Structure 1
Amino acid sequence: MGTPEFAVSSLQKLVESDCEVVAVVTAPDKPAGRGLQLTPSPVKQFAVSRGIPVLQPEKLKNPDFLAELRSYQADLQVVVAFRMLPQVVWNMPPKGTFNLHASLLPQYRGAAPINWAIINGETQTGVTTFFLEHEIDTGKIIFQETEPIYYDDTIGTLYERLMRKGAELVVQTVKAVEAANYPQTPQPSAETLKSAPKIFKETCEINWNQSSESIRNFVRGLSPYPTAWTTLNGKICKVFKTSVANGQESLTSSDTAIRTDNKTYLRFKSADGWVAIEELQLEGKKRMGIEEFLRGTKLTLNS
């Protein structure tokens, strides 16, 4: 059960490991592209290419869907990047239903764990498999694997590594459940639980009143998608890469500093210094580095 590219890696690994995948459950086709043509999810596209039956329920409690799902007589259900399941679904197979989550539970429960781990400046995250229970992301842990978060990691680079590591962990978990030899560890209690709520466009606006490092982490945690943004020349400007800047700009009272003579830069004042914009995309333009951007864009800013 899964929908995006992140889930495809696990599905492919299961197929290549000779696990008998009797069916796939994924989201209904959705309009996409300029023509808004109905487009299947990445998981459906892979399943169809391998001849695996695909179920695409609008509602997970629909009696027809439940009857069809039950007809496959699955021993175990695997969930990777799918929606919340009702008990009638996750309780159906005799060996249960487990989920792959892209964090070290109990930290970063929620829809966007990879994003929030980077945004919060973590230096380590990981993947967890756990059995589903009533409360979301709270079931007993089966296995966990850690993964470092590097200084220049973005959601794009970390996503790729966790996707691959998660696929390996899914296969390990399936094999362990098949052999009836696996741990079931209650999630440890923690004084502070960091959450990973769903990210919306409003979430992605840069707050320049934060520290320079916090802003750098915020941009990394949203790059390349859904992308941090600010306003520039009265237009929405997506920001893909920044760095913490040091220099004489701290002497100015302006919120923005631009130089295009011996050195080209665009910097915004933060709570404790300056943030240099390195890659951006102004509304109506392509994504580009700062030098190319400033060569072709006239900015009405104080410097």
Structure 2
Amino acid sequence: MIKKEDLRIVFMGTPEFAVESLKALVENKYNVVGVVTVPDKPAGRGQKIKTSPVKDYALEAGIKVLQPEKLRNEDFLAELKDLNAHLQIIVAFRMLPEVVWNMPPMGSFNLHGSLLPQYRGAAPINWAVINGDKETGVTTFFLKHEIDTGNIIDQKKLPIEMTDNAGAVHDKMMVLGAELVLETVDNICNDKIKPVSQEDFIKEAIVLNPAPKIFKEDCKLDWSLDVEITYNKIRGLSPYPAAWTELIDANGKKTSLKIFETEIITDKNLLPGQIETNDKDLIYIGCSNGCLKINTLQLAGKKRMTTKEFLNGFKNLNDCKAE
């Protein structure tokens, strides 16, 4: 056993998702001796320097911040070693080389946004929603060589509602993940963990779903597919990176359109990609066995808007098709 104030922790993370876990550790009086996050970088039209949310919180909390360009850099490794961490906690950060994750005597554990071994990879939240899963969760596990394959420490389950998009699941998982990180560290302090190999979770009949990084071409909609598949894909990519389609007018001109929110309509029959609108506040697009009512969308170079706002400026939509 080790007292929380004696346990030296280095926390590694970047986005807002990771801040919740770091905040939970700090507010529960754990001794976070350092934070590792990405370097500052210029962003936006004015190229103003942007800092990571984790850095912002760490500075407010008075925690030392390291921002290495390369994780194998000798100066960084020396600084990291000087922190004398017993344990490293990783939440939404980069892949770590062994020289980093193997440094602390009590190991390094990661928080992953799925019930491992399901959805190993970069986009577990998106893929769980895209696949229409009714449940996901969070997992803490010790790092080893192969990505997302280390021994599982603990898990918490999270239901996915049919109306949830990836953003909603992300926000709920952020809070649940912080709870699990805290419980995991508590149990490590009290010698109550019994890590289990992921192989023990894999049964002969189980199909493991991957969660690879999502690229633009993965986000294009295929209106010939089942209406529920298309609905799930849209909510699984909303709000980011966002599903998209092309509107093709009577002259063959193509306009790119992102779609964020829809509703399934089963009592209206349209051909796949066929568009029907009242030119005021309703847009329907056909799928293979029903259609989707489009609620929020975005033209390239424009802001996100409601269907009503969109139709105020986009005319002759009935003459277009989605492809």
Match of 2:266 in 1: 246
CA distance in 1, matches of 2:268, 2:36: 57
2:202 to 189, 208, 213: 189
CA distance in 2, matches of 1:93, 1:119: 37
Deviations 1:13-41 (A, max 9, x none): 10001000000001111221211222111
Match of 2:244 in 1: 229
Once the two structures are aligned, what percentage of the paired residues are identical? 53
CA distance in 1, matches of 2:273, 2:122: 34
TM-score w.r.t. length of structure 1:
0.94
Match of 1:269 in 2: 286
2:312 to 276, 295, 302: 295
Question: Is residue 2:277 matched to residue 1:259?
Answer: yes
Match of 2:216 in 1: 201
Letter aligned with residue 139 of structure 2: T
8 Å Cα contact 1:232/1:282 also seen in 2: no
8 Å Cα contact 1:107/1:194 also seen in 2: yes
8 Å Cα contact 1:22/1:53 also seen in 2: yes
Q: Map residues 158-177 of structure 1 onto 2, 5 A cutoff.
A: 158-177=169-188
Of 227-236 and 166-175, more deviation after overlay is shown by: 227-236
CA distance in 2, matches of 1:24, 1:98: 15
The 1:181–1:273 alpha-carbon spacing in structure 2 relative to 1, beyond 3 Å, is same
Deviation at 1:203, TM superposition (A): 1.6
CA distance in 2, matches of 1:254, 1:57: 50
Letter aligned with residue 259 of structure 1: T
1:25 to 28, 36, 50: 36
The 1:284–1:134 alpha-carbon spacing in structure 2 relative to 1, beyond 3 Å, is closer
Which 5+ residue runs of structure 1 have no aligned equivalent? none
8 Å Cα contact 2:138/2:176 also seen in 1: yes
Question: Is residue 2:117 matched to residue 1:97?
Answer: no
CA distance in 1, matches of 2:150, 2:72: 21
Of 193-202 and 278-287, more deviation after overlay is shown by: 278-287
Deviations 1:92-126 (A, max 9, x none): 00100000001000000001101100000000000
Aligned residues: 300
8 Å Cα contact 1:115/1:222 also seen in 2: yes
1:180 to 188, 191, 202: 191
2:92 to 77, 81, 93: 81
Deviation at 1:264, TM superposition (A): 4.0
Which 5+ residue runs of structure 2 have no aligned equivalent? 1-11, 249-253
CA distance in 2, matches of 1:171, 1:5: 17
Q: CA RMSD in A?
A: 1.6
8 Å Cα contact 1:97/1:131 also seen in 2: yes
Letter aligned with residue 163 of structure 2: D
Match of 1:47 in 2: 58
